[in-house]
């Protein structure tokens, strides 16, 4: 009986499988283990992680290192991926027109329309005049309320107020006649005076209806068709706000423009095509299909995409000792997304969701560095180290130990930086590595929710959401209620929270639960489902997915609570049996490559015995 350990060095984790191989190649699996990968996959930096996982697996099996016959490692050719995001639209405020503002606590409710007047000029307003009061610095909330009440008592119709300080509620509560009040307008001194304006504040829990509607603004300011077309970006920027201010100036305007984001050049075996990034993800991916198989890609110098591709090449060159000019981009994935951007020229730091394109790119290198890794590992463990077969082939062998599978079978290995697929048919395994996986999903969630917190975005990706409705219960995202014996943390109350393994984590945004859930599921669909389909299409016989009988989903992302179901739903119409793998009937979607290495080695032993 020979004691062996199969080791799979992945981008994020390193997994091991301990087994005894008896006469005739009979395999007895003993244990498995998992540790984080040390360093970049396929480099000598992996040695400490491999040593650790081997020792853990042997310890779990109750076997010492000295009994080990061989360590079997996969062909962990380095896969380096990079991400870039290009904003391709921009909202610009010219002259002095102001768009919406969404402070935490506006005052009052309703719509007020009138001419903007400085607070100090209220006494000069004639009775019957309809005005919007602009309260600047140095005015106390009690003085502001008293001044407005005094003007109203004289017959001045004060229909709304724009305030510099965070005083809207304090002012509104002291007014004799309720009006909408918007506060925290940091550049209030730039609000044009003597101009028609509208202030709208919605009731708590609601959003504005008039100023977020192009025809509503047209009605307020009596605009013609051309003017309504020009004001449309204003309405779009205000959708979802609880409060807003629009000031109409003779020359003021708000425009949206597309930003030249540079060109991406895709080089195939037969053709070479360039595509503008601001054409969007669909056009980029359509161009990629026209040049496939991709042999390299370059980005325009001085742009985000050019910088990202250069960084990927530099990283790979540094890790492998390969000349930068010899590193080739082997796949790209483009995804349409949104990025919160501060509106240029706005007066209160308003943000608008601008269109953007996220791009993932990937390169692979030769197995040369693996030989060096094997040598270092041999020195560290003092046992023979064998480089096994192609990673995808081993994953297929491991996946076939899942109960209920059979040939032809395809595997989808969903990792952090890449999505891999392989299909095993009549003795031939076809495989493909594609750019884009869990890391891109995290980036999309972080960007579209405006979190600026990758760790929180990662938690949102991995765990379900809930809304803390009281100190003792939460409403889960599926509508069910969950009760607790102990009071919930005060910071979670009335918040959307992530139910992570470490506990309840509030999401500090204004987005409601449904919005966060929609962003999370959309990001997973745009990356994992799209990548799963294009990966299977490239490995399926004749590109026909209906020729694949079984798909086994493997890898760390296969443990996600919704990704496997989303992929299964996407391929269900093609008659494919798709589900999460359960390697050896006990390991779940983990350990497939490590198990496959052992199975492959056992097959070689049996052939040698038979020979």
Return the pLDDT at 605: 77
| CB within 8 Å of 404: residues ≥ 6 apart | none
Structure tokens at 535: 């990966």
DSSP readout, 251-273? S-EEEEEEPP--EEEEEESS-EE
Return the pLDDT at 350: 63
Q: Which residue has the higher pLDDT, 506 or 190?
A: 506
Return the pLDDT at 262: 78
Least confident of 44-53, 257-266, 323-332: 257-266
Return the pLDDT at 59: 93
Taking 70 as the threshold, does the pLDDT of residue 368 lie above it? no
- What is the percent of the chain with per-residue pLDDT over 90, rounded to a whole number? 32
Least confident of 14-28, 297-311, 323-337, 361-375: 361-375
| Burial of 497 from C-beta contacts in 10 A (0-12 / 13-18 / 19+) | buried
Kindly report, residue by residue over 123-132, the tens digit of the pLDDT: 999 999 999 9
What's the CA gap between 553 and 568, in Å, rounded?
A: 9
Kindly report, residue by residue over 548-601, the tens digit of the pLDDT: 878 899 888 888 899 999 999 998 888 888 889 899 888 888 888 899 999 888
**Mean per-residue pLDDT, 173-194:** 86
pTM of the entire predicted model: 0.75
Return the pLDDT at 456: 94
**Mean per-residue pLDDT, 280-307:** 86
Kindly report, residue by residue over 492-508, the tens digit of the pLDDT: 888 999 998 888 899 98
Q: Which residue has the higher pLDDT, 534 or 364?
A: 534
Q: How many CB atoms are located within 10 Å of the residue 232 CB?
A: 15
Return the pLDDT at 393: 80
Taking 90 as the threshold, does the pLDDT of residue 151 lie above it? yes
Return the pLDDT at 96: 43
Return the pLDDT at 147: 93
Q: How many CB atoms are located within 10 Å of the residue 459 CB?
A: 20
Taking 50 as the threshold, does the pLDDT of residue 95 lie above it? no
Mean pLDDT of the residues in the chain? 84
DSSP readout, 534-585? HHHHHHSGGG-GGG--EEEEESGGGGSSSHHHHHHHHHGGGT-EEEE--GGG
Least confident of 78-92, 208-222, 477-491, 520-534: 78-92
Kindly report, residue by residue over 432-453, the tens digit of the pLDDT: 888 888 888 998 999 888 888 9
């Amino acid at each position: 009986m020979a004691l062996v350990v199969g080791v799979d060095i992945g981008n994020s984790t390193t997994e091991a499988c301990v087994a005894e191989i008896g006469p005739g190649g009979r395999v007895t699996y003993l244990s498995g283990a998992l540790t984080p990968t040390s360093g970049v996959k396929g480099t000598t930096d992996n040695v400490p992680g491999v040593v650790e996982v081997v020792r853990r697996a042997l310890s779990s099996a109750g076997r010492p290192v000295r009994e080990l016959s061989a360590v079997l490692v996969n062909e962990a050719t380095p896969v380096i991926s990079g991400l870039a995001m290009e904003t391709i639209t921009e909202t610009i405020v010219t002259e002095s027109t102001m768009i919406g503002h969404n402070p935490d606590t506006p005052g009052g409710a309703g719509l007020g329309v009138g001419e903007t007047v400085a607070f100090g000029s209220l006494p000069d307003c004639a009775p019957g005049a309809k005005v919007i009061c602009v309260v600047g610095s140095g005015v106390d909330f009690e003085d502001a309320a008293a001044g407005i009440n005094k003007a109203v008592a004289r017959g001045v119709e004060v229909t709304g107020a724009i305030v510099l300080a965070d005083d809207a509620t304090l002012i509104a509560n002291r007014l004799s006649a309720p009006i909408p009040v918007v506060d925290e307008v940091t550049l209030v001194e730039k609000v044009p005076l003597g101009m028609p304006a509208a202030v709208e504040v919605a009731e708590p829990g609601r959003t504005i209806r008039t100023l977020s509607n192009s025809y509503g603004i047209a009605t307020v300011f009596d605009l013609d068709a051309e003017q309504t077309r020009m004001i449309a970006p204003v309405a779009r920027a205000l959708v979802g706000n609880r409060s807003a201010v629009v000031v109409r100036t003779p020359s003021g305007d708000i425009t949206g423009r597309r930003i030249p984001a540079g060109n991406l050049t895709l080089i195939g075996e037969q053709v070479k095509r360039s595509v503008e990034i601001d054409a969007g993800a669909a056009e980029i991916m359509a161009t990629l299909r026209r040049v496939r198989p991709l042999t390299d890609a370059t980005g325009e110098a001085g742009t985000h995409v050019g910088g990202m591709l250069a960084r990927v090449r530099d990283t790979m060159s540094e890790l492998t000792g390969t000349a930068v000019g010899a590193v080739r981009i082997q796949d790209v994935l483009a995804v349409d997304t949104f990025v919160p951007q501060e509106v240029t020229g706005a007066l209160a730091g308003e943000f608008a969701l601008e269109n953007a394109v996220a791009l993932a790119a990937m390169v692979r290198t030769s197995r040369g560095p693996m030989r060096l890794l094997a040598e270092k590992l041999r020195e560290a463990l003092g046992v023979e180290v064998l480089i096994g077969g192609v990673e995808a082939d081993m994953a297929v062998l491991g996946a076939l130990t899942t109960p209920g599978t059979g040939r032809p079978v395809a595997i989808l290995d969903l990792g952090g930086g890449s999505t891999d697929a392989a299909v095993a048919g009549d003795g031939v395994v076809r495989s493909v590595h594609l750019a884009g996986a869990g890391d891109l999903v995290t980036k999309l969630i972080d960007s579209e929710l405006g979190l600026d917190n990758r760790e929180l975005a990662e938690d949102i990706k991995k765990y379900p959401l809930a809304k803390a409705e009281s100190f003792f219960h939460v409403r889960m995202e599926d509508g069910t209620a969950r009760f607790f014996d102990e009071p919930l943390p005060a910071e979670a109350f009335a918040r959307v929270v992530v139910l992570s393994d470490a506990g309840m984590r509030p999401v500090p945004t204004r987005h409601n639960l449904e919005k966060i859930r929609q962003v999370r599921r959309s990001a997973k669909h745009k990356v994992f489902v799209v990548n799963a389909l294009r990966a299977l299409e490239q490995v399926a016989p004749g590109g026909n997915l209906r020729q694949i009988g079984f798909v086994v989903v493997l890898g760390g992302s296969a443990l996600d609570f919704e990704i496997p179901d989303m992929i299964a739903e996407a391929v269900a119409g093609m008659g494919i049996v798709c589900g999460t793998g359960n390697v050896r009937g006990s390991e779940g979607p983990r350990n497939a490559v490590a198990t496959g290495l052992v199975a492959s080695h056992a097959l070689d032993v049996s052939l040698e015995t038979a020979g």
